[in-house]
Structure 1
Amino acid sequence: MEHDAAHGLIRIQLRQQRALRGMSQEEFGKRAAYSGSTVSAVETGTRPIDMPYAIRADEILETGGLFASLLRMAQRDGQPSWFKPWLEAERAAKQLRYFNPTLVPGLLQTANYARAVLRFDDTRPEREVEQQVAARLERQEILERERPPQVVAVVDESILCRRDAIMGEQLAHLLRMTELPNVHIHIVPASAGLHVGLSGPLALAMLPDGTWAGHLDDQLGGSPVVAEDGVATLLARWEGVRGAALPEALSIALMKEVESQHGPQ
């Protein structure tokens, strides 16, 4: 696969740059706060290269952000073709809108939550799962960049009430995200009953020129929505789910109440 080839080239460069500086795997690992076995696993491909590793390698090998840049490119290239238009819209957007009746939106997921979701496909190789987790976390960097988009996410209360350690950690993460001035999370309470959003998830991005692009997920993957009538329908559906949701302060209070039932994280 092209995606695996890109990661293979990064691993080759990591080995070469380390060797050029006369460092053994043990010495590099000691400087990077990784074990020698972890360094070996990354360089042989038995452990995926993640962004923290790439950033640390750039610092130690003084490569000026080379490995972080290469990894971002590999992660983008490794995304399914149907998802790439949305990734481009998401990165360029001034405003983002997400609704999902069954899952926390990907832009707000923890690594463990994302890993569990990706494992819904039980035929997906573990290495691919970890690569996709890394790519999903890399997307989240837009939330704290110098000029981040405004992000409004609406989720159903039922999502929060799944009682397991992964959801407890995810709830704590959502509450931390609400501390960002550009991130707003609203909960549709169980008392709302039936509402228009139950027909499925949606995502919307307002681009720099003021136009909107949409994205729909389904069991087979997803599809971009760019036609004017389709985008207008999604904007109307968004207003419906946003209207069914609690105000921000009450949503945060509800998340804190549910989090307290999970116990300390």
Structure 2
Amino acid sequence: MAYKGYMIDLDGTIYRGKEKIAAAKRFVESLQARNIAFLFVTNNTTKMPKDVVANLANNFDIHVTEKEVYTAALATADYLDSLDSNKKSVYIIGEHGLKQAIMDKNFVVEETTPDYVIVGLDSDVTYHKFEMATLAIKRGAKFIGTNADTNIPNERGLLPGAGSLVRMVECTTQQEATYIGKPETIIMEEALLRLGLEKSEVVMVGDNYMTDIMAGINFGVDTMLVYTGVSTKELVASKPVQPTIQMDSLDDWDFDNDRTR
């Protein structure tokens, strides 16, 4: 059975920082030409969907809509909104995309005694921010980590990811965060709802075994690993559960037969 929907990672799969991955543009255009549903499911929390769409169009000549983008920031906001309606205060370590997504759900910022502390990627993070987050969690705030990515692939190499920041706060508070993004199922459940398909009809595509592929495995959908980003063949070979499909390039995928060329 041909896949009716594709969940696709961005960083390391569609591009590497500012570096184009030529096969990625062809892959997306093949999906569009065949009217196959797809959703970019990304652990990026720094951008809103409109920013992701603009970046794809302006820098990579890939043209999609905001409805085809689901970020860990949106998933975090959706998760918080599904909890206690009487708890609406937050302290956030993160950038505009995360803050805006949460504010759009009518949460308010509270530094001292928030209901929730959310930690995501923040390129301007300071000791003071960590200090405030640690104290708030110690006072009883629920600790949320947007995603567990320890690294972000870009044209310069592997940079620190949101997971590195979350783990620092875990260390200072001696508490584990509730993670939202890949490889957790929270973001996958909402992504599947947005596609309107069954698990058996979709595949998760990504470059990182520990996030993208484990998200698919944990959620019970097929997985497609492309070696253009974080994971290496040596690392993947050591794992007890292998991806459903492994490829060196997205050009290797045969849409018409649902197999590698």
TM-score by length of 1: 0.27
Greater Cα radius of gyration, structure 1 or 2: 1
Please identify which structure carries the higher helix content.
1
TM-score by length of 2: 0.27
